[in-house]
Structure 1
Amino acid sequence: MKSIGKSKLHVHLLFWILYYILEVYLDFYWSRYQFPDVEWQMRLQNTLMLELGYLFIKIPLAYSLLYVYERGHLKSFAKSILYILIVVLAVLGHRFFTHYLMYPYIYGTVETLDGKEFSGYINGLVAFNSFMDLIFMVGLIFGVEITRQKNVLKEQISQLKSEKLDQELTMLKAQINPHFLFNTLNNIYGMAMKKADETPDAILQLSKVMRYNIYEAAEKSISIEKDIENIKDFIQIQKIRHHHLTVNFKENVDCPSQEISPLILIQFVENAFKHGVSESLGESFINIDIQLEKGILKYRIENSKEQRAHEHSTKIGLKNIHRQLQLLYPQHSLVVEDRNDRYIVQLIIDFHDTFRS
């Protein structure tokens, strides 16, 4: 709220400075026709004093009207009466200043109308001129303020959407980490039950992967190079347990520093193990192909599976990651093929059309 108030002060201060300069320029230009015998230095001094005096009428008028405009609890009729009253008082004040102060004390003469001496400060024509001068200013300040309010509202809506998106992504990541940890600990538990010699190595690999999940995954984005390295570490853990597994890993990345949201790519690998390899009774395979060229990621995973998959296998991870892709990369392409003997996932992300920076 403080920043919004500060922004309003800056916008309005800039408006009045520019408006004052504009009015000085217009009146100074006009004065050379009305007072051709007066030196330009004196005319400029008079114009500066004149427009400064007018600001003491226009500024209260502008903010009185804005105050009434922003009072949502007032009925339309009451607002209309207040508008008329404020404008009438401003016109009278404008005319009083012009007739009794501006001409005799600034210009050193009397106000004239059509070349004749003008003794009264209320007259239809001159009052209309004052009214038009004030209304011109009111139109400008209302335009500036309404535009500013719309921009503030747009910024607030954008900020709320961003905060909501961040909260949802945080919740999704919080779901991913326990899910991944649960599956990996199950793998190591199976190895420990068999008293496998590779168990310490698996624990060390798990430590490395969890360090990535805790620290790196907390960031909004990381380099794709780090993300791929995490996938390789994850595969090493799984290969220790699955001895009858063939993993073909192809990688072609032209920009290793390309930023990507963490814990997206690995979820497809995890699902390939959990719902493919882990349910296979014999030889199994996983083919992983990661291609990044000119900002376009093509990611394909193909894994073997039993023709009759486990009826109670849950795919929370896949649903989770699909939601993240919708939030982060709305223009992505995700194709999932569930065949009799294999499961294929193909993902394409164009980083040029990324929703979030």
Structure 2
Amino acid sequence: MDGVFQASVYAFLNTAFYAAIIYGNILVLFPRLYQKGKVAGYIIAVILFLLGIGLLRAFITMNIYNALFAKNPEPISWKAVLSFVIGGVMIFLLSFIFRIAIAYFTLKRQSDEIIAQKMQAELNLLKSQVQPHFLFNTLNNIYYEAYLESPRTAALIERLSDIMRYFVDESPKQRVSLATEINFLENYIALEKIRLRYDVTIEFDKQCDININVPPMLLMTFAENVFKHGIDKSSIKNSIKLSLVQTNSRLIYTVVNTLPHTPSIVQSTGFGIENLRKRLLFLYQNNFELHTEINGQYFTATLDIPLI
């Protein structure tokens, strides 16, 4: 029975120290040092870790042996410590190989998932392009038919087609040319005008290089705000002035419109301006200016962004 008890005690101690080496490497040293590229720090930490584990194992093992099994207590020898350290090195190497294998298969699984997601995204893109292109072709056919009967209607259909093409082809991009953005804005204004009973006086001053690139849909919000909140449909004196001025590597966009005469109708910044502000914070941090003001019978919205 004494032999079985002694073997069980040593088996428990060996298992505990081997587990400490394996999990110490897999859960602590490998992810915190090796995977972060700190190879030299990892090697130093492993050497100190194995020396510490070896010394602790020798100290505990010899003390248990002297306390429970030895007839005459024996001191801890450096030979015993060295044997424990060498045994720890072998277990560490096995744990290192095992951890490398785990990292490899994890990376391979993630790579396979990324490839599958990419293929699915490409398939979804192809699907999404089929219907818009069918619609564009149909609009082109309607345009040619309308052109024979009503050139003005055909021109509006063409503007609508350009707007839809902008949403599909340009808006998903990170940046678009200012010329593209201006063309989209002018098409939007032209289509909004046909919904009004009376004509609107619109001036658009462009003192900028239209070939510079800007994030898409930045100019839209002010114009949309005007037609939603700033137009008095019963008035014949509505006016809108838009300006784009480039100066000192910055672009200043200003929209001024007359306020509605009806007292209950007040120009509102709405959710559009607030959403625009959140987007600008994401794009430019604090390197932009966005403000609105009411001055007499006019509402003014100004945007100042860097050209980067």
Compute the TM-score of the two structures, normalised by the length of structure 1: 0.43
Compute the TM-score of the two structures, normalised by the length of structure 2: 0.49
